Amino acid sequence: MSTIKSFEDLPVWQDARKFTNKIYSLTNKFPKEELYGLTSQIRRA
């Protein structure tokens, strides 16, 4: 097992970052009028 020196080394952190990037990619395709409504809510969730 490898040594964890930073929280960024944790697999769960790496998975969460990948998930966040996918959410931002998805919400970038939403209509611009949703930018401060649904898009903002999904990104914060």
Could you read off the pLDDT of 1-45 as tens digits, one per residue? Answer: 678 899 999 999 999 999 999 999 999 998 888 888 888 898 888
Query: d(Cα 32, Cα 30) in Å, to the nearest integer?
Result: 6
Q: Are 27 and 42 in contact (CB under 8 A)?
A: yes
Q: What angle do CA 38, 17, 8 make, to 5 degrees?
A: 145
Task: Note the pTM of the prediction, 2 decimals.
Answer: 0.72
H or E segment and range at residue 12: helix 11-27
